[in-house]
């Protein structure tokens, strides 16, 4: 059976984890700080905080910005549930909008959804393909949009406009107009979950890139305290002689990353650009080359003159089918010992959100994309021979069911 997306766990990763285990320091410490530095250097943002998950990173920023009951947060209907769940956790209202045919959030639909309750917009770089950040960044600075903004907290008043919080869970290493994700807007959040290109098994990073009105390093310190129960000193700081005393200055959260996780990330980021992305691009290119002759295959856009993906998920769509036919094709592919997936079931289709009154019929492009989408395996150890096996299984399964 060809798996869908096993993590890369080579000797380099194992050696770095063993090094941490032997050091006796396994929680947040020097490796986590080094990983934060490497992320900042790689992505070109102003400061980075490693956290326990991408979801934790998104939620921590919403809490820092003072998002609360009565506020509205705009996000795409086509995303993983984490993007919406963190909004609900804060008591705010998720405002879903439809997406483009390339799966990314529609700027025109964002504009229509903005009200005087809007505090944050969360674009999602689905499958690793960056959103239209220049257009989104400019939209929230427009005079008519600025007039709608109703700041309630110190941070909201300081920014003076809607915050752009990029859900970059899929897109570390992707580029928009020559700049890396993490540096494209106010704040971006990466995920390092087990299936991601760069993994720490679980984990994430907040990439701060706020304008000059803010001291990003001070914001980092503030977020770090929030991520450790509101504690003024972490465990490493308290090991210094006579430095045991600390204070709790707010009821914070347990969102920190450990050095064990960071060790995995350090192994992965070392040759991420020249190795991991190169291999994943090869897989994308090979899939595209082998599938382009089939009239039923709608290939994903993953490189343009402005954008370059992180090659995270290969989003194949089958033309002129419905959701039920897509599901039959997927079953046929599995029957041929090839694992595939769907990214994602749009959030308004989930029971909890349907129960809140959301209706997928209001997001026709999102539903159309979803109903015809099949995600193909993409991972570092996938061989050319296995790629051919995947394509053969897909082609036979589609043609059997059309």
Q: What is the pLDDT of residues 52-79, one digit of tens each?
A: 999 999 999 999 999 999 999 999 999 9
| CA-wise closest residue to 382 among 371, 373, 391 | 391
Q: Determine if the peptide bond prior to 103 is cis (ω within 30°).
A: no
Task: With cut-offs at 50, 70 and 90, classify the pLDDT of residue 240.
Answer: confident
For 16-59, the pLDDT digits (tens) are 999 999 999 999 999 999 999 999 999 999 999 999 999 999 99
Whether 74 and 121 map to the same domain: the answer is yes
For the chain, report the end-to-end CA distance as a whole number of angstroms: 24
pLDDT of residue 236: 76
Q: Residue 239: pLDDT above 80?
A: no
Range 229-247 average pLDDT: 85
pLDDT of residue 55: 98
Helix (H, G, I), strand (E, B) or coil at 388: helix
pLDDT of residue 15: 98
Whether 158 and 197 map to the same domain: the answer is yes
Q: Residue 235: pLDDT above 90?
A: no
Whether 259 and 347 map to the same domain: the answer is no
Whether 186 and 298 map to the same domain: the answer is no
For the chain, what is the total number of helices (H) and then of strands (E)?
15, 13
Residue 2 in any domain: the answer is no
Whether 355 and 244 map to the same domain: the answer is no
Whether 117 and 40 map to the same domain: the answer is yes
pLDDT of residue 54: 98
Quote the CA–CA distance of 129 and 302 in Å, as a whole number: 6
Range 164-172 average pLDDT: 98
| CA-wise closest residue to 338 among 296, 401, 284, 386 | 386
pLDDT of residue 374: 98
For 179-209, the pLDDT digits (tens) are 999 999 999 999 999 999 999 999 999 999 9
Q: Residue 271: pLDDT above 80?
A: yes
Question: Is 33 in contact with 235 (CB distance < 8 Å)?
Answer: no
According to DSSP, the β-strands at 72-76 and 118-121 are parallel
Quote the CA–CA distance of 291 and 305 in Å, as a whole number: 22
- State both tokens at 260: 């064990």
Domain end (from 219, 236, 270):
270
What average pLDDT does the chain have? 97
Domain end (from 218, 250, 270):
270
The number of residues making up the chain comes to: 402
Whether 323 and 244 map to the same domain: the answer is no
- State both tokens at 192: 């390092």
Rg (CA), the chain: 22
Whether 212 and 288 map to the same domain: the answer is no
Domain that includes residue 143, residue range: 11-270
Quote the CA–CA distance of 137 and 230 in Å, as a whole number: 31
Task: List Cα–Cα distances, 169 to 56, 384, 399, in angstroms.
Answer: 12, 27, 34
Q: Residue 242: pLDDT above 90?
A: no
Range 378-382 average pLDDT: 98
For 331-359, the pLDDT digits (tens) are 999 999 999 999 999 999 999 999 999 99
The total domain count for the chain is 2
Q: Residue 270: pLDDT above 80?
A: yes
pLDDT of residue 60: 98
| CA-wise closest residue to 103 among 3, 189, 204, 171 | 171
pLDDT of residue 229: 96
Quote the CA–CA distance of 381 and 283 in Å, as a whole number: 10
Range 83-95 average pLDDT: 98
Q: Which residues of 110-119 are buried (b: 16+ CB within 10 A; e: fewer)?
A: bbebbeeebb
Alpha-carbon dihedral sign for residues 379, 380, 382, 384: positive
Residue 5 in any domain: the answer is no
Whether 337 and 388 map to the same domain: the answer is yes
> What stretches of 187-314 show up as alpha helix (H) in DSSP?
216-226, 259-270, 277-291
Q: Residue 238: pLDDT above 80?
A: no
Whether 265 and 283 map to the same domain: the answer is no
pLDDT of residue 277: 98
Residue 1 in any domain: the answer is no
Domain end (from 217, 248, 270):
270
pTM, two decimal places: 0.97
CATH number at residue 395: 3.90.1150.10
Whether 263 and 337 map to the same domain: the answer is no
Question: Is 214 in contact with 78 (CB distance < 8 Å)?
Answer: no
Task: With cut-offs at 50, 70 and 90, classify the pLDDT of residue 244.
Answer: confident
Whether 236 and 306 map to the same domain: the answer is no
Q: Which residue's structure tokens are 């192994």?
A: 267
């Amino acid at each position: 059976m060809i798996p869908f997306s096993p993590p890369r766990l080579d000797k380099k990763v194992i050696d770095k984890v063993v090094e941490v285990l032997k050091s006796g320091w396994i929680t947040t410490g020097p490796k986590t700080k080094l990983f934060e530095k490497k992320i900042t250097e790689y992505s070109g943002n102003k400061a980075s905080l490693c956290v326990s998950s991408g979801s934790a990173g998104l939620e921590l920023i919403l809490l820092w910005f003072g998002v609360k009951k009565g506020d509205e947060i705009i996000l795409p209907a086509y995303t993983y549930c984490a993007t919406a769940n963190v909004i609900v956790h804060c008591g705010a209202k998720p405002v879903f909008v439809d997406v483009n045919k390339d799966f990314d959030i529609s700027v025109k639909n964002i504009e229509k959804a903005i009200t005087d309750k809007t505090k944050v917009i969360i674009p999602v770089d689905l499958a690793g393909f960056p959103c239209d950040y220049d257009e989104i960044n400019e939209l929230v600075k427009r005079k008519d949009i600025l007039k709608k903004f109703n700041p309630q907290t110190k941070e909201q008043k300081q920014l003076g406009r809607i915050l752009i919080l990029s859900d970059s869970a899929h897109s570390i290493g992707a580029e928009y107009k020559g700049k890396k994700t993490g540096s494209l807007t106010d704040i971006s959040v990466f995920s390092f979950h087990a299936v991601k290109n760069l993994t720490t098994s679980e984990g994430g990073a907040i990439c701060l890139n706020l304008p000059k009105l803010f001291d990003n390093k001070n914001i980092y310190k503030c977020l770090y305290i929030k991520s450790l129960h509101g504690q003024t000193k972490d465990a490493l700081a308290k090991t210094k002689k006579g430095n045991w005393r600390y204070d709790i200055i707010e009821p914070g959260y347990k969102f920190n990353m450990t050095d064990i996780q960071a060790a995995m990330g350090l192994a992965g980021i070392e040759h991420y650009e020249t190795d991991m992305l190169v291999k994943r691009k090869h897989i994308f290119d090979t899939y595209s080359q082998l599938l382009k002759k089939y009239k039923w295959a709608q290939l994903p856009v993953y490189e343009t003159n402005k954008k370059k993906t992180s090659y995270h998920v290969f989003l194949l769509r089958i033309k002129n089918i419905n959701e039920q036919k897509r599901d039959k094709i997927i079953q046929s592919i599995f029957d041929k010992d090839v694992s595939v997936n769907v990214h994602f079931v749009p959030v308004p289709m989930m029971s909890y959100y349907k129960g809140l009154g959301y209706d997928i019929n209001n997001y026709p492009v999102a539903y159309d994309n979803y109903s015809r989408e099949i995600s193909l395996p993409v991972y570092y150890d996938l061989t050319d021979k296995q790629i051919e096996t995947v394509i053969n299984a897909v082609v036979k399964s589609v043609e059997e069911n059309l």
